[in-house]
A and B are shown apart, each in its own frame.
Chain A
Amino acid sequence: MIQLHDVTKTYRSLIPPKPVVALAGMTLSFGAGEVVGIAGPNGAGKSTMLSIVLGFLSPTSGSVDIDGMKPRRFVERHGMAYVPELVAIPPWWRVTGALNRFAVLSGLPKAERAHRVEEAIESMGLEEHLGKSVKQLSKGNRQRLGIAQALLSDASVVIFDEPTHGLDPVWSDRFRDLVGTLRRPDRAIVIASHNLNELERVADRVAILDHGRLTRVTDLQAESQTRETRHYLLVLATDIEAVPEIFPGATRAPATDQGVAWTVDGELDFLNRGLRTLLEGGASVRSFAPRRSRLESEFHEAVGK
C-alpha cells in the first residue's frame, strides 16, 4: 500500500551550512491490514519519514508510492487520518466546532457529519469538554481531541505520531483498544512512538530507525511464537556459584539493593526448572522479573545503546 524506495532526505540551510541527513536510503513498505510501528531515538528521522508519507515534505532522492500515487496526490484525493505529535488546533475553536470543521474538511456527507462527530466524541471521552475552547483543554485532552479529529474520516491510511504523548495511563491503555478497532484489511496503520511497550502491544512489525537509517525491522507476529524466550533479572540474597551451571548463558548484572543479580534467559519451563533447583539448594530468591522485552532488546542492539 505504502512503499518507500531508497528515500533520502537532506535538510540544507545557509546557517549552519552543513547539510543534515534526516533519512538515508530508506526502503520500507506498509501493507494494507497491517499495524507498523516506527521506533527510534530522538532525531532518528521518524517525524521526517511521516512528513514524507503525508506529502508535507518531498524526499531529496528516492520515491514514495501510495496506491500508485505520490503522497500529496493521494492525500488530496483520499485524505489520511493523522495525529501529529503536537496537536495544533486554533485555540479559539470549541471542541464540537473543531470536530465539525474537520468533518467538513474530511469531505463527510452532511447527513453523516453529526453522527461521526458524536462517535468520535464518545470514543475519546470528550463529552464533558464539549463547550470548552481548545485553549482551555489540558495537554492530554487536546491530544484526545487530536485523535478524535483523525477518527472522523474513513481513511485507508492512519498515521499516529507519538499518539499517547500527554495521555494519562488510562487513555494510553484505551489507545491500544482503539488501534484494535481501527484495524481493517484495507487499512494501513503507522504508529511512531518512543514507547516500545505500546508498540509491542499494538504493532505487527516495528521498524527501528537510527540516525536516519532503517537499522532493523522486527516482526512481532513471528516474535509472538517465541515470546516465552525473554530476558529475566534474577536477584538472589547471596552469591551462588552454581547459577551459570543451572542457567547456561546467565550473565552477571549490576548488584541491586536486594542482592546479587543475574540476567538469565530461556523458555518458561526451563526457567521454572532452574528456579526449583536453586530453591531446593537453599537459595533465597529476592526477585525474578522480565528484564527487557525482545523489542526492547532489539531496539538497544539496533541503536547501539
Chain B
Amino acid sequence: MKTQALISYLPLLLRDYLLTRGGAMVVVSLVFIGPLLIAFSTATTPPPPEQMSRQAIQVMLSLTTFLTLIGTYGLIGQDFRLGYYRSYFAKPVPVPLYYVATFGCALLGFWTVQGLILVTLASFGVNAWDAAAALEATLSFILLGSMVLAFSRVSRLDWIFAAFLMALANPLRSAYPAAESIRGKILNVLLPPMHLFDLTPSARAAGETSALITGAGVEWTSFAWICVYALTLFVFAMVAVWKLPLASTQ
C-alpha cells in the first residue's frame, strides 16, 4: 500500500481543490458578508464591536451550509462520471484512502476560505474569530459533507439529496417528537441532528454564539451525537467506494 505516495500527493490534491472550488466558495462568501460590511460602514452610528462580531459570526455560521455544499458536491462522483478514476486507480492507490485524503483537503479548503473571510472582516475592523463558532462550523461541515459524500458515489444529485434531508430533519422531528412514539424515536436516530446546532432564543439573547459550546461548557452529548452520525455516513461512503464496482457503464 502506497500511503506515502498519497501523503506526497496531498499538496497537489489541495491545490486542485482550491483551484476548482475555491473561487466559487470565495464569491459566495462575499455575497454573504458584503451586505453586512456595507451596512456596518454606512451606518451613521456604527454598532458596538461586540454586536458587530456577533452578527458577523452568525453570518459565517449560516454561510457554512452553502460552503459545504459547494465544497463537497460530486467529490467522489465526478471522478467516476468524468472517467478520471481509470487513470487514478490503475496506480497503486487504495480507493477509500484516496477519498479520505480528498475529504481532508475539502476540510482544509473550507478552513482556508473561512480564514480569508476572517481576514477580510478584520480588515474592516470586525473581529469574527470565536473558537466555539469555529468548532461548530467545522462540525457542521463534517456532518453535511459526510451526508453529501454518502450520496456521492451513487448519484450526481448528491448535494441536493443532502440538502433536502437536512431541510427535512427539523420539520419531521417537530411532527413526530421522539418522546411520543416509536416512529419519532426511529426518525430521531435516522435524521441528521441538525437541531443540535440551533441556538435557543434565550441563549442567543445571552450572547451565546454556539449551541455546542455554551457558557456552561461543551455539550458533550450533542458533540458525540454529531460526530457518531457524521462518522457513520463517512464510513458508509468509504465502504461504497470500496465495494461498488469502479466501472459501472457497459
A-side residues, CB < 8 A to B, are: 11, 20, 22, 48, 51, 54-58, 75-82, 84, 86-90, 92, 100-102, 104-107, 110, 146, 149-150, 153, 159
Contact = CB atoms under 8 A, between A and B. Distances in A.
Contact of B88 (A48, A58, A105, A153): A105
Interface string B194-238: 000000000000000000000000000000000000000000000
Interface string B74-112: 000000001111111111111100000000000000000
A107 B250 contact: no
B181 interface: no
A200 B85 CA distance: 31
B93 to A, nearest CB: 6
| 9 nearest A-B residue pairs (beta carbon) | A88-B83, A82-B90, A79-B92, A56-B247, A107-B5, A107-B2, A105-B91, A56-B246, A84-B86
B44 interface: no
A240 B9 CA distance: 72
Contacts of B94: 76
A104 B8 contact: yes
B165 to A, nearest CB: 23
Interface string B1-32: 11011101100100010011000000000000
Contact of A107 (B82, B90, B92): B92
Contacts of B92: 75-79, 105-107
A105 B16 contact: no
B9 A56 contact: no
Contacts of B86: 56, 82, 84, 88
Contacts of A77: 1, 92
A146 B4 CA distance: 24
Given A56-B245, A105-B91, A106-B5, 7 more contacts: A77-B92, A79-B92, A88-B82, A88-B87, A100-B12, A101-B9, A107-B91
A40 B20 CA distance: 40
Contacts of A105: 5-6, 9, 88, 91-93
Contacts of A11: 250
A84 B91 contact: no
12 contacts: A11-B250, A48-B250, A57-B245, A75-B89, A77-B92, A78-B92, A84-B86, A86-B83, A105-B9, A107-B91, A110-B8, A159-B90
Contact of B87 (A20, A51, A58, A102): A102
Contacts of B20: 92
B102 to A, nearest CB: 13
Contacts of A106: 5, 91-92
- Residue in A22, A75, A102 whose Cβ sees the most chain B Cβ within 10 Å: A75
A88 B79 CA distance: 10
B9 A22 contact: no
Nearest to A13: B250
A171 B134 CA distance: 56
Contacts of B9: 101, 104-105
A104 B90 contact: no
A75 B247 CA distance: 15
Interface string B57-70: 00000000000000
Given A75-B90, A105-B9, A84 B250 contact: no
A56 B84 contact: no
Nearest to B20: A92
Nearest to B250: A11
A149 B12 contact: no
Given A82-B90, A106-B91, A76 B1 contact: yes
Given A76-B94, A101-B12, A89 B89 contact: no
Contacts of B12: 100-101, 104
B250 A20 contact: yes
A102 B245 contact: no
A89 B84 contact: yes
Nearest to B6: A105
